[in-house]
Amino acid sequence: MPTKKEGEKYLEGHIKRIAALLGMTPKEAEELKEGAQRMKKWIKNEIDSCINFIFPKKAKEEAARRTAEEERRKAAFWEEYRRERAAIAKEETMD
C-alpha cells in the first residue's frame, strides 16, 4: 500500500501529464491539481459517510476520538503560545 506522500506524488505526476497533453498553462495546471485534491477529499467524505451509516457505533466512537484529539491539539497550541509570550515578556523586562 503506497504512503500518502507517494500517492500525492503519483497524482501530481498524472496531473502534470494531463496538463501538458491539454496544453494548459502552469496556473491552469495548478487549478486542476487543486480540483483533484478537492475531489479526493469529497470521495473520502462520501466513503466515511457510508461507513458511518452502516456502522453508527463506530462512527460515534470515531467522532469522540477526533474531538478529544482536536482538544488536545488546541490545548498544546495554547500552552506553547503562553510559553512563547512569557519568554518574550521575560526578555523585554530584562532589557
10 with 30, same domain: the answer is yes
pTM over 0.95: no
60 with 93, same domain: the answer is yes
Domain that holds residue 84: 56-95
Tell me the per-residue pLDDT of 7-58, one tens digit each, with 9 for 90 and over: 778 878 888 888 888 888 888 888 888 888 899 899 988 988 888 788 888 7
What is the rounded distance in angstroms from the CA atom of residue 33 to the CA atom of residue 30?
5
From 14, 50, 46, select the one nearest 33 (Cα to Cα).
Answer: 14
1 with 39, same domain: the answer is yes
Instruction: Provide the number of structural domains found in the chain.
Output: 2
47 with 72, same domain: the answer is no
6 with 29, same domain: the answer is yes
Tell me the per-residue pLDDT of 33-46, one tens digit each, with 9 for 90 and over: 888 889 989 998 89
42 with 63, same domain: the answer is no
Cell of 60: 460515534
Q: At what angle do helices 26-54 and 56-94 cross, to 10 degrees?
A: 130
46 with 91, same domain: the answer is no
44 with 60, same domain: the answer is no
46 with 4, same domain: the answer is yes
Mapping DSSP to helix (H, G, I), strand (E, B) and coil, where does residue 23 land? Answer: coil
From 20, 48, 16, select the one nearest 33 (Cα to Cα).
Answer: 16
Q: What is the pLDDT at residue 73?
A: 94
Q: Which helix (H) or strand (E) holds 6?
A: helix 4-22
Cβ pair 17, 31 in contact under 8 A: no
Cell 519568554 sits on residue:
87
